[in-house]
């Protein structure tokens, strides 16, 4: 009895997905527009390996305490541990250290590409996704932070998110640390003291949009039980301490100047807090002078950013328009980009402080937002399909395809079995082809071709009003010499 052949299952691994034509085309078109903005600002592209040493990646994965947790890692034959990059910032820190004698300082770069995280997948949460980053390494000036915010604003507008549909929010971790010092959960002389409590405070503030004041207060205190009954341990702050922190979350005022004044009150005698407030004031002034008002970029103390390595200004781009969720409820689209200053990251390699600031755009989320607004980034129409009526005349059909391509018209020859003509038209429909070119023996003798309008067919099939389309014939017979001109007219 023959042994049964065990065949592999044709399915993507859990937490991964495949991207097809239109999605890939739209993503590339969007990234090209963003790259144009970054280029305009003087940033250079950088491509690093998808693989880094685990040692180089370090323990900067968000909300993870153990260095190797959350990464796809393996041991190389020379005993080194390697891993797929989980973001585009850790590789930049390695590059900045490795090539520090060759790169200009400050070094301004942008990078785009896939990253991998070994996390539990869920709805809309994948283990591989695209990021689009821009960073400035080597300057402590908050002008670099202001520039990143302005560039992010311009990038959102160039891809099709108009003013009024987004806002870039700016805060400063120094201000928050100053508030925590006033609240008694930060000791400037011993940064490790109250570290666990501060982590809980940061995560609580970051969830204020979702949990509201009451939920955040509970997490600042003893803890919070959610709807499912799960209990999350709180920071253990007293009511007085919690009040100081809550004052920080509601410090935003109608103008940047009023927000700065309120923050200055909250940080009290904290030197670090006062430094952070002064930086925010400078950023607001620099942006205002360039015409970036609060309709585009505003100071918002509610922005925290979860990563532990942020040391100064932090920012987040939020889309403010409403969409319907899977249950048909209205909700705001939310955050599509975030970043901040991380002055300690390169120091791991060099032992010296190297200031840096940057932003990361969630490519898949921004693409989803554009689709939700009906603002696709690219023409995803299929190619004109030249059908085959006579196998012996393949060279004639290929000549038609060649002429169309030379004229800049996307075209292809049907290369399947030409026996069933209906299947050729089904293929053209599946390819979302706008036009099918047909030439049988009769047309060849007359020196003509038939153009079949597949866009019209699709519109009628979708229930479009025939009145609206009746002036447009479903197919026309034209002179073979006019092929390019007539196809171009039909496409337009």
Pairing of the two strands 44-45 and 411-413? unpaired
Give the ranges where 54-141 is alpha helix by DSSP (H): 54-57, 89-98
CA distance 208 to 216: 6
**pLDDT surpassing 80 at residue 472:** no
* pLDDT at residue 107 in the model: 96
Residue with tokens 């001109």: 485
**pLDDT surpassing 90 at residue 30:** yes
User: Which pLDDT tens digit goes with each residue over 137-159?
Assistant: 999 999 999 999 999 999 999 99
Q: Which of 358, 346, 309 is nearest to 100 (CA)?
A: 346
Among 44-48, 61-65, 305-309, 422-426, the minimum mean pLDDT is found in: 61-65
CA distance 491 to 481: 17
**pLDDT surpassing 60 at residue 62:** no
**Mind spelling out the 3-state secondary structure of 87-107?**
CCHHHHHHHHHHCCCCCCCCE
**pLDDT surpassing 90 at residue 311:** no
The pair phi, psi for residue 451, each rounded to 5°, is -110, 120
Q: Which of 251, 282, 276, 279 is nearest to 266 (CA)?
A: 251
Residue with tokens 């006579």: 390
| Residue 475: strand pairing partners | 452
What share of the chain has pLDDT > 70, as a percent?
92
Peptide bond into 106 cis (omega under 30): yes
Residue 285, SS3 per DSSP: helix
User: Which pLDDT tens digit goes with each residue over 286-307?
Assistant: 999 999 999 999 998 878 776 5
Q: Transcribe 270-282 into DSSP letters.
A: -HHHHHHHHHHHH
Domains in the chain: ranges and CATH: 21-372 (3.30.930.10), 384-491 (3.40.50.800)
Residue with tokens 């200009």: 104
**pLDDT surpassing 60 at residue 133:** yes
- In this structure, how many other beta carbons lie within 10 angstroms of the beta carbon of residue 197? 20
User: Which pLDDT tens digit goes with each residue over 269-279?
Assistant: 888 889 999 99
**pLDDT surpassing 90 at residue 316:** yes
Q: Which of 476, 409, 420 is nearest to 448 (CA)?
A: 476
* pLDDT at residue 182 in the model: 83
Q: Transcribe 10-24 into DSSP letters.
A: --PPTT-----HHHH
* pLDDT at residue 65 in the model: 47
Residue with tokens 């026996």: 419
Long-range contacts of 245-248 (CB under 8 A, 24+ apart): 245/179, 245/180, 245/183, 245/201, 245/205, 245/220, 246/213, 246/216, 246/217, 246/220, 247/179, 248/175, 248/176, 248/179, 248/205, 248/301
Mean confidence (pLDDT) of the chain: 86
Among 52-56, 331-335, 364-368, the minimum mean pLDDT is found in: 331-335
What share of the chain has pLDDT > 90, as a percent?
49
Give the ranges where 71-141 is alpha helix by DSSP (H): 89-98
Provide CB contacts within 8 A for 303, sequence distance 6+: 169, 170, 171, 314, 315, 316
* pLDDT at residue 60 in the model: 47
- The band of 476, judged by pLDDT with boundaries at 50, 70 and 90, is very high
User: Which pLDDT tens digit goes with each residue over 182-226?
Assistant: 878 777 888 778 777 777 877 777 777 777 778 888 888 888 887
User: Which pLDDT tens digit goes with each residue over 101-129?
Assistant: 999 999 999 999 999 998 888 777 889 99
Burial annotation 142-157 (CB, 10 A radius, 16+ → b, else e): bebbbbbbbbbbbbbe
* pLDDT at residue 459 in the model: 62
Residue with tokens 């929010």: 169
Q: Which of 332, 322, 320, 265 is nearest to 294 (CA)?
A: 320
Long-range contacts of 44-49 (CB under 8 A, 24+ apart): 44/108, 44/109, 44/110, 45/109, 45/110, 45/111, 46/92, 46/95, 46/109, 46/110, 46/111, 47/111, 47/113, 48/85, 48/88, 48/91, 48/92, 48/94, 48/95, 48/111, 49/85, 49/91
Q: Transcribe 401-423 into DSSP letters.
A: HHHHHHTT--EEE--S-TT-HHH
Give the ranges where 160-238 is alpha helix by DSSP (H): 173-183, 195-206, 208-220
CA distance 48 to 102: 16
> Which range in 16-30, 32-46, 256-270 is most confidently predicted, on average pLDDT?
32-46
Q: Tell which wins on pLDDT, 330 or 478.
A: 478
Provide CB contacts within 8 A for 280, sequence distance 6+: 170, 171, 172, 175, 256, 259, 260, 263, 299, 313
């Amino acid at each position: 009895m023959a042994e049964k052949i065990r065949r592999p299952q044709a399915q993507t691994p859990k937490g991964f997905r495949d991207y097809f034509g239109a999605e890939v085309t739209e993503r590339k078109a969007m990234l090209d527009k963003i790259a144009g903005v970054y280029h305009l600002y003087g940033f250079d592209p950088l491509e690093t390996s998808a693989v880094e040493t685990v040692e180089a990646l370090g323990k900067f994965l968000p909300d993870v305490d153990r260095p190797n947790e959350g990464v796809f890692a393996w041991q190389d034959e020379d005993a080194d541990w390697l891993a797929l990059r989980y973001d585009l910032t850790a590789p930049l820190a390695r590059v900045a250290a490795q090539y520090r004698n060759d790169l200009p300082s400050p070094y301004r770069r942008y990078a785009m590409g896939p990253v991998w995280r070994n996390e539990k997948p869920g709805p809309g949460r994948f283990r591989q996704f695209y990021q689009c980053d821009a960073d400035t390494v080597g300057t402590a000036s908050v002008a670099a932070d202001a520039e990143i915010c302005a560039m992010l604003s311009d990038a959102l507008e160039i891809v099709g998110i108009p003013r009024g549909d987004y806002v870039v929010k700016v805060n400063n971790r120094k201000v928050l640390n100053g508030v925590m010092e006033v609240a008694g959960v930060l000791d400037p002389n011993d940064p490790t003291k109250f570290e666990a409590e501060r982590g809980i405070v940061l995560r609580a503030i970051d969830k204020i949009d979702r949990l509201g004041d009451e939920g955040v207060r509970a997490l600042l205190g003893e803890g919070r039980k959610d709807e499912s009954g799960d209990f999350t341990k709180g920071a253990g702050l007293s009511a007085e301490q919690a009040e100081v922190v809550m004052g920080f979350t509601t410090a935003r005022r109608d103008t940047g100047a009023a927000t700065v004044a309120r923050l200055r009150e909250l940080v009290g005698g904290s030197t670090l807090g006062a430094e952070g407030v002064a930086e925010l004031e400078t950023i607001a002034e620099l942006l205002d002078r360039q015409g970036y008002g609060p309709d585009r970029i505003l100071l918002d103390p509610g922005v925290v950013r979860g990563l532990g390595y942020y040391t100064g200004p932090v920012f987040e781009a939020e889309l403010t328009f409403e969409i319907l969720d899977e249950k048909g409820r209205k909700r705001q689209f939310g955050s599509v980009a975030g970043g901040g200053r991380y002055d300690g990251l390169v120091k791991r390699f060099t032992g010296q402080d190297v200031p840096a600031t940057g932003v990361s755009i969630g490519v898949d989320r921004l693409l989803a937002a554009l689709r939700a607004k009906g603002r696709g980034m690219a023409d995803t129409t299929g190619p004109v399909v030249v059908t085959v009526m006579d196998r012996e005349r393949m060279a004639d059909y290929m000549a038609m395809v060649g002429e169309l391509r030379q004229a800049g018209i996307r075209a292809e020859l049907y290369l399947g079995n030409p026996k069933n003509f209906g299947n050729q038209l089904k293929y053209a429909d599946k390819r979302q082809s706008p036009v099918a070119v047909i030439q049988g023996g009769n047309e060849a003798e007359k020196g003509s071709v038939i153009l079949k309008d597949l866009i019209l067919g699709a519109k009628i099939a979708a229930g479009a009003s025939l009145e609206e389309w009746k002036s447009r014939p479903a197919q026309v017979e034209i002179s073979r010499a006019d092929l390019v001109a007539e196809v171009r007219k039909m496409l337009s």
